Amino acid sequence: MTDDDDDWAPPPVPDGDGDPVAAVDEALTEAEAALRGFAWLPDADEVDAATTILFHLDPARRTPETPLRRVLHQALGETYPQLTTWRPRPQYLYAAVKTLHQLASDQVAGENSAALLVGWDRLTAVLRTVTAAAGGTDRAAPDPPGPGAGA
């Protein structure tokens, strides 16, 4: 390995031509389209990462004073190896999480911008789709049987 080797670089993410809101929209639109069109079938690492990220996002959503940039930073730190494992296709999940983290960290956009909240909702939907499509942990528990159902 030489100093010129780029293997250490993180996967590229959309930059929205310098607009973090456009970057988030582009990354999430690509992920949503790839999931709908079955161009992206999440692997086990991505399902695990999605589950972990949801574990961080869900409680933060119920606690509005929690800065999303901090939640995403922690989630990225815990899932970075899973998200950036080499794959012969775009890194949809990494791009979606990273661009939203960049938007949440943007001084101009602000922590509670409408675009950030919309991105948060869209990312959560993508994460739930990833975990549900792969038989992950996000499936709803079945309704308990009614009275007398066991008789």
pLDDT at residue 107 in the model:
72
**Which amino acid belongs to residue 47?**
V
Residues near 51 by Cβ (< 8 Å), separated by ≥ 6?
Answer: 131, 136, 137, 138
CA-based nearest residue to 119, from 24, 50, 34: 24
What does the pLDDT read at residue 53? 95
Note the pLDDT of residue 112.
55
Tell me the longest C-alpha to C-alpha distance in the chain. 71
CA distance 75 to 66: 14
**What pLDDT is stored for residue 63 in this prediction?**
83
- Provide the pLDDT for residue 31: 96
Question: With a cut of 70, which residues of the chain have pLDDT below it?
Answer: 1-9, 108-112, 135-151
pLDDT of residue 131: 94
The whole-number pLDDT of residue 148 equals 45
